[in-house]
Amino acid sequence: MFKLGETQRLIIVKKVDHGAYLASDREAESERILLPVKQVPKDAAVGSELEVFIYKDSKDRLIATVNRPYIKLHEVALLKVKDVGKIGAFLDWGLEKDLLLPYKQQTLRLKPGDECLVALYIDKSSRLCLTMNVYDYLSTDHNYKEGDEVRGRVYLLSENFGAFVAVDDEYSALIPKRELYADIRVGQIVDARVTKIREDRKMTLSLRKKAYLQIDEDADKVMAVIEAFDGVLPFNDKADPEIIKREFNMSKNEFKRAVGRLYKQHKIEIGEKSIVKKYNKKA
């Protein structure tokens, strides 16, 4: 039995002008697959065993190749868009016939030259097809632990859950919605910190450093905004969380910590309805 989208070791059972027929054993009569003549190694003979990849040609027939594709069935890989047509995008996967990424399997619209993270599956028509919905194909077999710094690619944004990330383009992770205090887009590479390893080994991430490391950076950001308001911020640390998020991309607690740092450094004064920058008086 031939395994579509996978690599197999098969035996040459017959050689013809247009190539060689391969089978799982020498006695096989009905189940044979063609290896085109340009793919047949020069020293190959009947009885030779070859490692080949199984896919379908332009006429939807099973065919073998000794070339190695960039992606195999149920794997995830970063591929480049070669063309865009009426039914979707066509991606280069290292073989002659480009692979289809249908529009309904895209999490953003693509153009030629773009790179995107995709998984390979078999569709309802028994054809190899690509999807950008890679959640079910990402691995959890990693050695990361809580507190580690990681780099990943955002592959899906969810209003309910947050940003789904493929760490190292391979491992499953999520930046929860509550942690999204910056503009994030699909395809973006993000540096993050592992805050939790779930029981299923999927990672929870944060774009922010640990509080004691983040606080100085946040304080600088708050001061920059105060200065942009000519030294008087028209609200204080009791402001509505949505206002704080809009102006600073921070949670209310992070904002309060940053304001507290600036206050202890005698850089600001906190009023009932404002925060004012303190200026050093000249002697």
Residues 115-131 have pLDDT tens digits of 999 999 999 999 999 99
Residue 175, pLDDT > 50, answer yes
pLDDT of residue 239: 85
214-256 pLDDT tens trace: 777 788 888 888 888 888 888 888 888 888 878 887 778 778 8
pLDDT of residue 258: 83
| Residue that terminates a domain, selected from 206, 239, 263 | 206
Owning domain of residue 165: 141-206
| Residue that terminates a domain, selected from 163, 189, 206 | 206
List, in order, residues 6 or more apart from 212 with CB less than 8 Å away: none
Query: What's the mean pLDDT in 54-79?
Result: 94
Residue 213, pLDDT > 80, answer no
| Residue that terminates a domain, selected from 206, 228, 244 | 206
d(CA 5, CA 159): 34
Q: Are strands 268-270 and 275-277 parallel, antiparallel or unpaired?
A: antiparallel
Residue 78, pLDDT > 80, answer yes
pLDDT of residue 30: 67
Count of alpha carbons within 13 angstroms of residue 79, beta-carbon side: 29
Residue 283, pLDDT > 50, answer no
Give a yes or no: residue 2 inside a domain. Answer: no
Q: Are strands 275-277 and 62-65 parallel, antiparallel or unpaired?
A: unpaired
Model confidence at 25, in pLDDT bands (50, 70, 90)?
A: confident
Cβ 217 vs Cβ 181: under 8 Å: no
Measured in residues, the chain has a length of 283
Q: Are residues 226 and 255 in the same domain?
A: yes
Q: Are residues 87 and 37 in the same domain?
A: no
Rounded mean pLDDT of the chain?
Answer: 89
Give a yes or no: residue 282 inside a domain. Answer: no
Task: Domain count for the chain, please give it.
Answer: 4
Residue 47, pLDDT > 50, answer yes
Give a yes or no: residue 129 inside a domain. Answer: yes
Give a yes or no: residue 283 inside a domain. Answer: no
CATH at 32: 2.40.50.140
Q: Are residues 198 and 223 in the same domain?
A: no
For tokens 């480009």, the residue is: 98
Q: Are residues 113 and 83 in the same domain?
A: yes
Q: Are residues 181 and 154 in the same domain?
A: yes
CATH at 233: 1.10.10.10
Give a yes or no: residue 222 inside a domain. Answer: yes
